[in-house]
Amino acid sequence: MITEYLRLWNARKWMKQNEPFLPTWHAHLGYSLDLFHHFSKGASVEEVAARNNWNQDLLQRWVDVGIVLGHLKMKRNGKIKPKRQLVKYVSKESPNSVGILIKEMMELHIPTMLSYRDLIQGKEVTFFEENYSDTVARTSALLETIAFPKVASSVKKEKVTSVFDIGTGYGGYLRRLKETNQELELCGIEVDETVAAKAWEELTDSGIEIIAGDIDQYETAKTFQMVMMNNLLYYFSQEERQKLFIKANRLLEPKGTLLIISPLVHSKHGQAFASAFNSFMSAHEKMYPVPSARELTEYGRKAKFRLKKMTPIIREGGWYLLVFKKK
């Protein structure tokens, strides 16, 4: 009898631990179909379903969960309306939306984690028919908002006048730097041609140069006072990372600055997230494990850099900013 009670207690415990997943599921579906926007002015399930030719019963189930979670509320007239915070932060049309981060987690990270059973057994797994380069670039832009003040501080402290950004994405860091100082000479390189084209289009009149290309094949006689490598080391193997540091050294003027933003394993902060993120990266053939500070310091040493500063920028995520100086 005691064994059966313990079994029941453990079953209930695991059910309870699954509850925190519901808000994320609800928010993801709300973001992907822009449901919070559809209900933003108050509407019935029947109205929204008919307007979009959706399954009314399933939409009703989503509404039921939302009411229980507090994401939605039912007005006296029977209309459904979401909380303002959900419309503001999880609607596609909102400039304040963080829904793209939920999309990346639900459509990239979690499916990868669920594939581990097959991966561990050596079975072939096909990942993501959809091209998620835009999603990754946009989630990186969210990180920019948090990290940029420290990036700008480093640029100012080192009295930098020229910056080369490896893996620039949509050029967010460069655009923000230009807004703080119009005199800065800024150049970025992006391997994804679609992302690079969009960055070039958006930054055409800014004076910022965007190059579509692979940093490994890129050659120039020009040098810069700062090189940035943000949110990209997990796309490179350990051997390739060493080459990146050497390339950065060649791109830098004497005593130039190398600035890196990356999650780190075996660091003081955010190891739950960093280890999960590491699992996601390790599952993909074209991605690689998250580095440690010791690993990056060793790459720097071999490429004639010294680590000057390491600062956490998102403690709960294990994201750090590292500043290296060229010897």
pLDDT of res. 186: 97
pLDDT band at 74 (very low <50, low <70, confident <90, very high): very high
Band (pLDDT 50/70/90 cuts) for residue 275 is confident
CA dihedral 210, 216, 220, 221 (to 10 degrees): 140
Q: Percent of the chain scored above 90 by pLDDT?
A: 65
Average of per-residue pLDDT across 234-250: 95
Average pLDDT, the chain: 91
Q: How many residues does the chain have?
A: 327
**What are the pLDDT digits (tens) for 87-137?**
999 998 888 898 988 998 898 888 888 889 998 998 887 766 566 777 877
Which residue shows structure tokens 């039921």?
64
For range 142-146, the mean pLDDT: 83
Domains of the chain by range and CATH? 2-96 (1.10.10.10), 133-326 (3.40.50.150)
Q: Using one digit for the tens of pLDDT, what is the confidence trace for 286-325?
A: 789 999 999 999 999 999 999 999 999 988 888 999 999 9
Give this prediction's pTM: 0.79
Each residue's pLDDT tens digit, 189-232:
999 999 899 999 989 889 999 999 999 999 999 999 999 999 89
Task: Report d(CA 155, CA 37) in Å as an integer.
Answer: 40
pLDDT of residue 82: 96
The gap from C-alpha 38 to its chain's centroid, in whole angstroms, comes to 27
Rounded to whole angstroms, the Cα distance separating 270 from 267 reads 8
Res 140: pLDDT: 76
CA pair distance 111, 128, nearest whole angstrom: 9
